[in-house]
């Protein structure tokens, strides 16, 4: 019976041709892959003994015995640790773009599953609840969904942990972080998030995991972590799909 499955896959692939989720290259009719060989080589490569920032988890370049990246050394980061899944390379950027701006919501499955694998590998500490950053109202109405909420729900389901939906809200509609220079990003999010009143009791004395898609400076996650801690959260960790280089 098993013998027939590859043939069945091939028929499905001929009827519904599929492309690499990272670079959109057409994939072969054979096999059951969603990533081309080139992307697999580039995106999944792991180097032994690579130094990572103890706070944000990004690769630390250069020489010396630095334990944190220049970004985390320069800024006051409020989360305890971050667990990135991939580096923000071209293919990863393309996937995120499709998931975020082109309504390709089916990509949630891949984003979440890759993140779960990375979290298992890294050994994320015990936590009680998941939260995700809110988007501006105009973005939400334009897009119709908040992609990080979809990811948080799928990850929460996998680990059987509760997602505090809508727990983090915006106090004002600030300009998009992507329009800001690195130096401006911490200023742009200052005081922009708060914990919704009905969740405040719940998070007291608890450990929280923030789920996000991309981390550049970590300003958003840090600001949310700071708010959670102000409301009594003990530790705040971050799981993020992609982190930019140092
Ligand atoms: Zn590819
Ligand atoms: Zn760092």
Q: Is 108 helix (H, G, I), strand (E, B) or coil?
A: helix
Query: Phi/psi at 82 (nearest 5 deg)?
Result: -125, 145
Q: What ligand has the least distance to the C-alpha of 56?
A: 2
Beta-carbon neighbours within 5 Å of ion ligand 1: 20, 22-23, 25, 36, 39
pLDDT tens digits, 73-97: 999 999 999 999 999 999 999 999 9
Report how far ligand 1's centroid is from the alpha carbon of 244 (Å): 19
In the chain, where the domains are located: 1-45, 47-243
Q: Which helix (H) or strand (E) holds 168?
A: strand 168-170
pLDDT at 14: 60
pLDDT at 2: 47
The CATH architecture assigned to 47-243 reads 3-Layer(aba) Sandwich (3.40)
Looking at residues 63-70, what average pLDDT do you find?
A: 80
Report how far ligand 2's centroid is from the alpha carbon of 74 (Å): 9
Confidence label for 28 from pLDDT (cuts 50, 70 and 90): confident
Q: What pTM, to 2 d.p., does this model score?
A: 0.91
Q: Which spans in the chain are helix H?
A: 5-15, 37-43, 70-74, 90-101, 108-122, 137-143, 147-159, 182-188, 200-203, 219-230
Confidence label for 32 from pLDDT (cuts 50, 70 and 90): low
Report how far ligand 2's centroid is from the alpha carbon of 69 (Å): 4
Give the distance from CA 149 to its chain's centroid.
11
Q: Is 159 helix (H, G, I), strand (E, B) or coil?
A: helix
């Amino acid at each position: 019976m098993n013998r027939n499955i590859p043939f069945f896959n091939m028929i499905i692939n001929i009827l519904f041709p599929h492309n690499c989720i990272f670079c959109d290259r057409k994939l072969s009719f054979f096999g059951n892959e969603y990533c081309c060989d080139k992307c697999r080589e580039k995106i999944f490569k792991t180097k032994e003994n690579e130094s990572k920032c103890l706070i944000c988890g990004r690769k630390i370049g250069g020489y010396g015995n630095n334990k944190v990246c220049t970004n985390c050394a320069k800024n006051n980061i409020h989360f305890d640790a971050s667990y990135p899944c991939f580096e923000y390379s071209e293919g990863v950027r393309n996937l995120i773009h499709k998931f975020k701006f082109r309504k390709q919501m089916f990509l949630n499955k891949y984003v979440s599953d890759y993140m779960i694998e990375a979290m298992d590998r890294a050994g994320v500490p015990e936590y009680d609840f998941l939260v995700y950053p809110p988007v501006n109202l105009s973005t939400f109405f334009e897009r119709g969904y908040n992609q990080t909420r979809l990811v948080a729900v799928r990850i929460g389901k996998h680990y059987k942990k509760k997602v505090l939906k809508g727990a983090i809200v915006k106090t004002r509609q600030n300009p998009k972080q992507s329009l800001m220079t690195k130096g401006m990003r911490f200023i742009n999010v200052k005081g922009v998030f708060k914990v919704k009143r009905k969740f405040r009791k719940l998070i007291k004395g608890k450990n929280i995991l923030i789920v996000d898609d991309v981390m550049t400076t970590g300003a958003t996650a840090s600001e949310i972590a700071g708010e959670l801690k102000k409301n009594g959260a003990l530790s705040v960790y971050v799981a993020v799909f992609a982190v930019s280089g140092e």
